[in-house]
Amino acid sequence: MILTETCMHAAKCEKAKELVTGGIAPIDLVSEVNSYGLASIVLAKCLGCNQAFKFDTSPRLKSGNFDVNIRAVWGTLVTGNGLSHLNELLDVLDSPGLSRRSFLDIKLKINDWWNKYLQADLDRAIG
């Protein structure tokens, strides 16, 4: 969505069009605003009019957690590992890790999802 939003802006912004005509890319990734485990919030800016665009590097789910963090915790748990192993792996990859609080929050949500799924499956089998 951010690509669509920034491209549409650059196509309509007169000052951005002038930059493109001069061979200059009109949109610049300015900075990482915040980091949440493997997900980040990034700020981009139009160099023509200075309009800012914030976007997440991973979708947020209904649970409020970033998809990439849930997948990282899930993958860690199903391989029989935990937070220390995940963060050690991420450190080797020069990537930010998850806090203990975030890891445990996501782990509890995954446990809850599995319990609900298994209970529904059991109810179908009995019924």
pLDDT tens digits, 9-19: 999 999 999 99
Of 39, 35, 58, 43, residue with least CA distance to 27? 43
Average pLDDT of span 90-96: 94
Of 36, 44, 58, residue with least CA distance to 7? 44
Q: What is the mean pLDDT of the chain?
A: 93
pLDDT of residue 110: 96
Of 52, 53, 102, 96, residue with least CA distance to 73? 102
Residue pLDDT, tens place only, 57-78: 999 999 999 999 999 999 999 9
Whether the pTM exceeds 0.85: the reply is no
- Cα–Cα distance, 120 to 117 (Å, whole number): 5
The sheet with strand 39-46 has its strands ordered as 27-36, 39-46, 52-56
Handedness of CA 92, 98, 100, 104 (dihedral sign): negative
Average pLDDT of span 96-108: 96
**Residues in the chain, overall count:** 127
Output the CA–CA distances (angstroms, integers) from residue 80 to 9, 72, 76, 84, 107, in the order listed.
46, 13, 7, 12, 13
